[in-house]
Amino acid sequence: MSDPHNIVILGGSYSGLAVTHGLLKALPGLKTQTGNSFKVTMITNSTHFWFSVGAPRAMFVPYPKDIMDSFIPIEKGFKQYPTGLFDFVHAEITGVDMEEKTVLYKLKNEKEETAPDTTIIAFDSLVIATGSKGPSPLYSYHGSHVPTLDAYKDI
């Protein structure tokens, strides 16, 4: 059996999640048709997706719900797919080498601390869905979900 076609997705917000879920739904059928195997890896700076569309409601005091309802654990959303097809990597992306077809990153722990060592992953296909950064963590992520969550708590 040959090595799987390695698809790496950078970013875990709206675009990154949509592309990843779309691929994971389509790839089993593609494997059946072509005989090729696939592996999808998402690398993102945060463990949580932030439902930013609901952000203005969260600014009202008192907010009628727990603010954490706006932050959804990313990895849980991928439990529905076959084991071995998807990997979630919580890390800070430090570089992309298009000639070597590699992504460099530093793993992050549950305290959002970045590891000193760089890890390299090779890709056959790369999706860059890292988004943008606004002037305040109230409007967009500034790294992980933690600064955004802290900014809401400070309102």
Q: pLDDT tens digit string along 39-85?
A: 999 999 988 887 777 667 666 666 656 666 777 889 999 999 988 99
Specify if 144 maps to a domain. Answer: no
112 assigned to some structural domain: yes
Classify residue 149: in a domain, yes or no. no
Top pLDDT among 12 and 137 is at: 12
pLDDT at 152 > cutoff 80: no
Q: Which residues of 90-121 are buried (b: 16+ CB within 10 A; e: fewer)?
A: bbbbeebeeeeeebbbebbeeebeeeeeeeeb
- Whether 148 is in a domain gets the answer no
Any domain includes 153 = no
58 inside domain: no
pLDDT at position 139 is 62
Cα separations in angstroms, 78 against 17, 70, 84, 88: 10, 18, 11, 9
CATH number of the domain that residue 108 is part of:
3.50.50.60
Q: Does residue 12 sit within a domain?
A: yes
Q: Residue 80: which domain range?
A: 5-53+70-132
- Number of folded domains that form the chain: 1
DSSP string, 77-111: GGTTSPTTSEEEEEEEEEEEETTTTEEEEEEB-TT
> Which range (11-20, 58-67, 106-115) has the least confidence?
58-67
Percent of the chain clearing pLDDT 90 (strictly above): 50
Q: Is residue 76 part of a domain?
A: yes
How remote is the C-alpha of 45 from its chain's centroid?
Answer: 7
